[in-house]
């Protein structure tokens, strides 16, 4: 409904970065891009002020705290693309090494990317999905998460862990 109502005003995408990309690719005239971006920024400010009023917060707030990290990036994604209903986790790197030759650092690198990355993805969306009444999390593992394979001890361990987290 919002896109139908405000589409002609904002370009139907509500994101100044998208308007800029369209203009750079020649899909949107620069004169229209400026109009869209002004409308999109104004709409964003009005939305923030409305949220502050709803929660009885001061309309103007100032902070010297730098905010960054996965939580902030996730919030930006929600603000840009809308609530998350589906997460497809498909992180995976592969390192061949016999167990006696694999270093602790190599093993932990596999764990951090494959296993911890999957966990962090699930954790990032869980609260939003529960709040919105549910959703789907799809964790891609590997056939190695079922059987194992020589020289892939670290990889296999992470893929078994993903199966366990998913169950």
Catalytic residues: 155
**DSSP codes, 89-102:** E-------B-TTT-
End-to-end, the C-alpha distance of the chain in Å comes to: 37
Task: Determine the 3-state secondary structure of 53 from DSSP.
Answer: helix
Name the helix (H) or strand (E) containing 153. helix 153-166
Q: Each residue of 17-53: b (16+ CB within 10 Å) or e? A: ebbeebbeeeebeeeebebbbebbeeeeeeeeeeeee
Q: Which among 120, 116, 166 is positioned nearest to 140, based on CA atoms?
A: 166
């Amino acid at each position: 409904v919002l896109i139908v109502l405000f589409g002609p005003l904002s370009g139907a995408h509500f994101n100044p970065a998208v308007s800029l990309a369209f203009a750079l690719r020649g899909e949107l005239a620069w004169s229209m891009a400026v109009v869209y971006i002004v409308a999109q920024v104004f709409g964003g400010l009005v939305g923030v002020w409305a949220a502050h009023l709803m929660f009885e917060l001061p309309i103007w707030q100032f902070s010297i705290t730098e905010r960054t990290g996965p939580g902030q990036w996730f919030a930006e994604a929600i603000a840009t693309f809308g609530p998350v209903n589906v997460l497809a986790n498909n992180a995976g790197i592969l390192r061949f090494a016999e167990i006696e030759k694999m270093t602790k650092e190599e093993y932990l690198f596999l764990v951090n990317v494959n296993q911890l990355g999957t966990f962090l993805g699930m954790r990032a969306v869980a609260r939003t999905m529960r709040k919105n009444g549910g959703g789907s999390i799809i964790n891609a593992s590997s056939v190695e998460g079922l059987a194992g394979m020589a020289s892939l001890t670290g990889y296999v361990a992470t893929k078994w862990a993903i199966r366990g987290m998913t169950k």
